[in-house]
Structure 1
Amino acid sequence: MATFVSSTSSAAAASVLRSVPSAVRGGACAATAPARRPLAAPLRAAAKGSANSAPVMMESKVKKRNKKGSGGGGLPAAIDLEIREAEAYLATDGEEPAPDNFPFEIVDEEGMSVVILKREYKDEKIEVIVSMPNMEGDPEFDEEDDEADGDAAANDDDEDDDEGDEDSSLSMKVIVSKGSSPKLEFTCTAFREEITIDDMMIAEETESKEEKFPFEGPEFTELPVNVQKGLFKFLELRGVTLTTTNFMHDYMVTKQTKEYVRWMTKLKDLVR
């Protein structure tokens, strides 16, 4: 269970749930990796203006390779190479079972870029929309890879992979509903050692077609600290924990690779 620590308790910082401001209120669940900066307050927050990064296809666990000779045979051969390498990775990537007492039902539809987690908690319905992982720190496939640099850079590649794993994150939208009452919507980012709340809003359904501009409340980091802590605990009790998000991180990396294979196979059929 993640705990809260003050800025002076560095020993427990690895498991803290922290809050960060959001550039967009109520938008789609997008992959972000906010820079981390300590504040005087007990919770840590990141500066506004962090750029969004598009998901990186399949580089998450596949190391860089030498591309020498891969251009032979034109486009179909290049696509075949991508498919073979992705399938080889999947063959060695044993899927981990869900943790004990995993509270959610996983709804995973082929061809989709998100997975939906569902559960009921007391008289509430909880839905978590999980996006593809953001792997900002990982090496990308590099067609300019030099054969001469391969051996010398092997150790550097391993270090880059480790750093990339630390920087990787999942973007999630958590929706809590209770009957006909307004919904609570949280936009979160899950890192390996902490979960942040980037934004929160109360979503009220309206039948009116007239455009309205309701008051949406303050930024999450502008809420009183005790309210922020209470909302972190609110999500934790409903299953949004590091155990859940770390399992889903690995699950989504595998899904990303499977979807990459499907996409490449479609592309191969269309350009054949």
Structure 2
Amino acid sequence: MLSVRNFARSAPRAVARLSTAALRQSVARPSTFVKASSLSALRPAQASFSTTVFRRAADAETDEELSAKLESELQIEEDMKTSEQEPASIKDFLNNSAFKLIDTPGQEVVKLERDFGDEKITISFSIADITNYDPYAEDSALEEEGLEDDAVQGGNGQRKGRAAEEDIDEELEEELEDENAAPINLSIVVEKPGKTVGALNIDATAQDGNIVVENLFYYDDAKVAKVESPEAAQKRADVYPGPPFGSLDDDLQVLMERFLEERGITQALAVFVPDYVDVKEQREYTRWLSNVKAFIDA
């Protein structure tokens, strides 16, 4: 869904850029940056100080154009929001899960919290994982490598390279409609308030309907596990992290996965998180556009 949305965003922007470029070419504007030698040739020997440039700058000629562009971007997002339906996985999870959603407008990080017996469980994830995600990075690297190999082989290789490039482009277009969601990192903290000040911190990934555990940490102080301050982050960096989860005994890995499933870290969560992050990213982007436009228009 993310790539389809980005494609839909980029298409109107490309048209807008072409229109803007054509408009700018039709209206001859003086260059803002003029060489000093040119100014010297045009300037009288003892010219009086002029405030013309400053008056023009004070007029803020770009504001109106920028505001219109922001309004255009907002309209694109609103149109996309109208044409898309919120994934059913979001409503299903929130209605049937013991987790409480904590989503602060304007913040990247989202949290899920619940009690499980004497335990308090907090799951944190961020929309930054999809804003920084490039689903075609690996494909592009493979494509470039293939083209380099073909170039070495000569004319036949160049023809093969072009054919391979066309095939890759077709595959990317097909995948655009049905692409795997970006992997979303989960920070799972399990505490036992009143029993111990320590906490478990499990680093995992939600992708393709699966939860993949990557690391398991133990901290003597739950505040360190949550990393809610620079001091806690420094203390966390100094703690022995333990071995990679995949290197643990197989039975231990299975039992740890069952431990998480009993606490609601299930396939339903793995489906919910990427879908919710995608929806929140659009909501935050729209909020950002509105805030910037309001500032420009003030």
Please confirm whether the aligned pair reaches a TM-score higher than 0.5, indicating the same fold. Answer: yes
Q: Of residues 230, 251, 255 in structure 1, which corresponds to 2:280?
A: 255
Structure-2 residue corresponding to 1:198: 214
1:64-105 deviation digits (Å, cap 9, x = unpaired): 424223554732222222111112122233323233622211
Q: Is the 8 A contact 2:197 2:222 kept in 1?
A: no
User: Partners in 1 of 2:135 and 2:112 — Cα distance?
Assistant: 27
Structure-2 residue corresponding to 1:171: 185
Q: Is the 8 A contact 1:173 1:188 kept in 2?
A: yes
Structure-2 residue corresponding to 1:243: 268
Identity of aligned residues (%): 23
Question: Number of matched residues?
Answer: 199
Q: Of residues 204, 218, 223 in structure 2, which corresponds to 1:188?
A: 204
Q: How has the CA–CA distance of structure 1 residues 215 and 137 changed in structure 2, closer, same or farther, with 3 Å as cutoff?
A: closer
Structure-1 residue corresponding to 2:36: none
Q: Is the 8 A contact 1:107 1:117 kept in 2?
A: yes
Structure-1 residue corresponding to 2:174: 159
Q: Is the 8 A contact 2:210 2:271 kept in 1?
A: no
Structure-1 residue corresponding to 2:23: none
Unaligned runs of 5+ in 2: 21-63, 138-168, 224-230
Q: Is the 8 A contact 1:190 1:196 kept in 2?
A: yes
Secondary structure of the corresponding residue to residue 84 of structure 1: helix
Structure-1 residue corresponding to 2:118: 123
Q: Does 1:136 align with 2:152?
A: no
1:32-76 deviation digits (Å, cap 9, x = unpaired): xxxxxxxxxxxxxxxxxxxxxxxxxx6563534242235547322
Secondary structure of the corresponding residue to residue 107 of structure 1: strand
Query: Aligned-pair RMSD on alpha carbons?
Result: 3.1
Q: Does 1:98 align with 2:92?
A: yes
User: Partners in 2 of 1:166 and 1:219 — Cα distance?
Assistant: 25
1:139-164 deviation digits (Å, cap 9, x = unpaired): 9xxxxxxxxxxxxxx9766513245x
Secondary structure of the corresponding residue to residue 69 of structure 1: helix
Q: Is the 8 A contact 2:206 2:273 kept in 1?
A: no
Structure number with the bigger relative contact order (C-alpha 8 A, sep ≥ 6) is: 1
Q: CA deviation at 1:194?
A: 2.1
Q: How has the CA–CA distance of structure 1 residues 214 and 160 changed in structure 2, closer, same or farther, with 3 Å as cutoff?
A: closer
User: Partners in 2 of 1:195 and 1:84 — Cα distance?
Assistant: 36
Match for 2:5: what amino acid? Answer: K
1:87-134 deviation digits (Å, cap 9, x = unpaired): 212223332323362221111111111211011111111111121152
Q: CA deviation at 1:227?
A: 1.2
Q: CA deviation at 1:216?
A: 3.3
User: Partners in 1 of 2:136 and 2:176 — Cα distance?
Assistant: 6
Structure-2 residue corresponding to 1:21: none
Q: Is the 8 A contact 1:90 1:254 kept in 2?
A: no
Match for 2:16: what amino acid? Answer: G
Structure-2 residue corresponding to 1:113: 108
Q: CA deviation at 1:250?
A: 1.3
Q: How has the CA–CA distance of structure 1 residues 89 and 254 changed in structure 2, closer, same or farther, with 3 Å as cutoff?
A: same
User: Partners in 2 of 1:108 and 1:195 — Cα distance?
Assistant: 21
User: Partners in 2 of 1:222 and 1:266 — Cα distance?
Assistant: 47
TM-score, normalising length: structure 2: 0.58
Q: Is the 8 A contact 1:126 1:177 kept in 2?
A: yes
Secondary structure of the corresponding residue to residue 92 of structure 2: coil
Secondary structure of the corresponding residue to residue 166 of structure 1: coil
Unaligned runs of 5+ in 1: 1-57, 140-153
User: Partners in 1 of 2:220 and 2:173 — Cα distance?
Assistant: 48
Structure-2 residue corresponding to 1:68: 15
Q: How has the CA–CA distance of structure 1 residues 260 and 219 changed in structure 2, closer, same or farther, with 3 Å as cutoff?
A: same
